[in-house]
Structure 1
Amino acid sequence: MQTQIFLSELMGTAMLIILGCGVVANVALVKTKGNNGGFLMVNFGWGLAVFAGVYVAFASGAHLNPAVTLGLLAGGQDMFGGNEELGLGVVPGTIGNAFLYIVAQLVGAFIGAVICWLAYKKHFDEEQDPGAKLGVFSTGPAIRSYSWNLVTEIIATFVLVFVVILFGRTPSGLGPLAVALLVVGIGASLGGPTGYAINPARDLGPRIAHAVLPIPGKGSSDWSYSWVPVVGPIVGGVIAGLVATATQGALGL
């Protein structure tokens, strides 16, 4: 079962990053067909990336995000409710299981970023702006203020994890589409200040890829900011897990 969970999360997160970083590359890099497509195109691209990633990782419950995993753990909830068709039982919310999910997500995110780079290799070579190259892989603030950037990431990730957990207890036939639309909404509403990482693996895995890939003229990987899209989503996810569990108890869900 652990192998299935690991591969499911790895492949789902890799698909998320291939398509998510891919839409940023299409908008940000020179000579692409989608160059200057705008922030809303990025929002929808990431939403559809989540849609695809959730379907790929359905066997493990499709966390795709350490903030979701840690939010479930903090709230005392199972990692996954079980899938009888695949022979998977309930995956308890333990530190060991959470670690398994998170490692798979980080590895998948790194792999996805490398594949995205391969798809846009010639455009990375042509691009002269190091900031545009880094922006394909990781997030950065519109106005650099670490404390306020952290607040933005906490709030945006709280919204994501809180709503995702409540999705699991409410009747809906939308499935992955609901999560995809939620991500589009978060990007459109709360994504302006920081680019809405809302996922430590989504930012850290590709940032590591940026640091090690042979990209000409790539510049710094901005490690001084890198802690914000890791710490902020973790804090927001944990708070969301606690509040969601309390809300479910109060509502009798």
Structure 2
Amino acid sequence: MAEFVAELVGTMILIIFGAGVVAGVSLRQSKGEGAGWIAISLGWGFAVALGVYVSGTVSDAHLNPAVTLAFATIGEFPWAQVPGYIIGQLIGAFLGAVVVFLHYYPHWKNTPDPSTKLGVFATGPAIRHLTSNFFSEFIGTAVLIFGLLAIGANTFSDGLNPLIVGVLIAAIGLSLGGPTGYAINPARDLGPRLAHAILPIDKKGPSDWAYAWVPIFGPIAGGIVGAVLFTLVF
């Protein structure tokens, strides 16, 4: 139960800061409006680092079903704990999105574009080509898992590891995030997308469920391949 709660709270923190920076950059009349992709990528890197700091003393601080499944596939995590971790991550992501909705409450009405509102909660492609979009999520998550395993294999101080993971997330965003907004985390996309579908957001438009499978299955497949490649190489 303690690890379930830690994953829930850590992922909630992740979404509050991650979706929060997207809201701050995207929504009309926010003081951060127009800050751009660099701010978003750095914000997500900080978000992951802080989420890991919050949850890492109790759980393994996966905050991501792709990480949990990848680590279980190569024997680095027990399969018996996989369902509890993933459920905690999904609930935490949903709750984090609700907090962001409430925090920016007056700005939804002042933002006319429905796709901008959806973009605060869920990822979407810059150019809609589902095969390429899937491959982008696949590559980004493979790099993520390969990097996480490399960080874990080095002798960094435990206190520095979350910061280094945050740098990895920011680097993936800056280098590989342009095509799809780099979900690289099924819970990060699915939980907030569900929140978007349910919450009373002013003139919000559809939640684009036709695309939702890409940021779910792309990261899962890429994560497993990244983990297997790391074990083969090292």
Asked if TM exceeds 0.5, the reply is yes
Q: After TM superposition, give the deviation of residue 171 of structure 1 in Å.
A: 1.0
Provide Cα deviations, 1:152-192, integer angstroms capped at 9, x if missing partner. 00000000011102211111132100000000000000000
Which residue among 17, 21, 24 is the counterpart of 1:19? 17
Residue equivalent to 1:139: 123
Contact 1:63 1:69 in 2 (8 A): yes
- The code of the aligned residue for 2:89 comes to Q
CA distance in 1, matches of 2:128, 2:110: 28
What pairs with 1:228-239 in structure 2 (closer than 5 Å)? 228-239=214-225
What pairs with 1:68-79 in structure 2 (closer than 5 Å)? 68-78=67-77
Which residue among 191, 197, 202 is the counterpart of 2:183? 197
Paired residue secondary structure (2:153): coil
Residue equivalent to 1:81: none
Q: Does 1:213 align with 2:226?
A: no
Residue equivalent to 1:40: 38
Q: After TM superposition, give the deviation of residue 124 of structure 1 in Å.
A: 1.0
Q: Which residues of structure 1 form unaligned runs of 5+?
A: 79-92, 249-253
Q: After TM superposition, give the deviation of residue 73 of structure 1 in Å.
A: 0.9
Question: How many residues of Structure 1 are paired with residues of Structure 2 in the alignment?
Answer: 231
Which residue among 74, 99, 112 is the counterpart of 1:128? 112
Which residue among 204, 211, 222 is the counterpart of 1:225? 211
Q: After TM superposition, give the deviation of residue 245 of structure 1 in Å.
A: 2.3
CA distance in 1, matches of 2:91, 2:231: 29
Considering only aligned residues, what root-mean-square deviation do their CA atoms show, in Å? Answer: 0.8
Seq. identity, %: 52
TM-score (norm 2): 0.97
- Larger radius of gyration between Structure 1 and Structure 2: 1
What pairs with 1:171-190 in structure 2 (closer than 5 Å)? 171-173=155-157, 174-190=160-176
CA distance in 2, matches of 1:103, 1:247: 32
Paired residue secondary structure (1:64): coil
What pairs with 1:62-141 in structure 2 (closer than 5 Å)? 62-78=61-77, 93-94=78-79, 96-141=80-125
Q: Which residues of structure 2 form unaligned runs of 5+?
A: none
Paired residue secondary structure (1:34): coil
Provide Cα deviations, 1:189-221, integer angstroms capped at 9, x if missing partner. 000000000000000000000000001100010
- The code of the aligned residue for 2:206 comes to S
